[in-house]
Amino acid sequence: MFAVSINSRYEKRLYDIKTKTMKVLSHGGVIPSFEWSSDSKSIYYNEAGDFKHYHIPTAKLTILSDKYGERGNAFLVIDNDTKIVFFRSNKMHVRDLKTGKLLFVRKYDRISERSVIRTAKGDKIHFQGAFGHKIVDTTKPNYPEINSFSTLSIFPRAFDPFDDSLVWMGALGLYDTKTKKRAEQDLTNFDELQRLGLSTSQASIYNF
């Protein structure tokens, strides 16, 4: 699943690597957010304010947005596809995915929607607030903030799939949220590249 810019609009495309076929799911004016279901058979995504569910085996498309009050572009699906977390107007909204019932809401000083990521299990979510990065525990009904930290990198890329205490921070490499330091890696040239103007939000740097 990826997005392609065409004439200042974005196509959401689904590519089947087995059959080598491409399907265009939608065409809209914003870079889309999308989430795979836990069984990898469905995709949840936004289009023009509508929240949609596409079931790949049956090619069935369902519009779900009438169940939700929030239609922000940033969202996460958690708890075995039973809950959806919207980030809108500096608020985190948690709703029952099936019924749309509002389960929890909290306002923050700031939420950068571009910084929203979750662990593979969906038991932790991350976003950048007004004063650094925040990690929230989604397994508890009060969704407590369990960690916060600051780095040179603005937007994280993903939690490490093998150790969710590590967060990939673009060109900054791995950040250890336990020690609150950059994880030890073979980044021999990183500091020199940074001195020469390397952007720490850059997605990929090769041949360190």
pLDDT tens sequence across 160-198: 888 999 888 766 678 888 888 877 655 555 566 566 665
Q: Which of 91-95, 143-147, 149-153, 195-199 has the lowest mean pLDDT?
A: 195-199
pLDDT tens sequence across 36-70: 888 889 998 877 667 889 999 999 998 887 777 77
- Return the pLDDT at 108: 93
Q: What is the pTM of this model?
A: 0.78
Residue 199 has pLDDT above 80, yes or no: no
3-class secondary structure, 35: strand
Across 40-52, b (16+ Cβ under 10 Å) vs e yields: eebbbbbbeeebb
Q: Which long-range contacts (CB under 8 A, 24 or more apart) does 142-146 make?
A: 142/104, 143/92, 143/94, 143/104, 143/106
Q: Looking at per-residue confidence, does 161 or 202 come out higher?
A: 161
| Rounded distance between C-alpha atoms, residue 129 and residue 175, angstroms | 17
Residues shown for the chain: 208
- Return the pLDDT at 40: 86
Q: How confident is the model at residue 208 (pLDDT cuts 50, 70, 90)?
A: very low
- Return the pLDDT at 63: 85
- Return the pLDDT at 203: 41
Highest mean pLDDT: which range of 29-43, 82-96, 156-170:
82-96
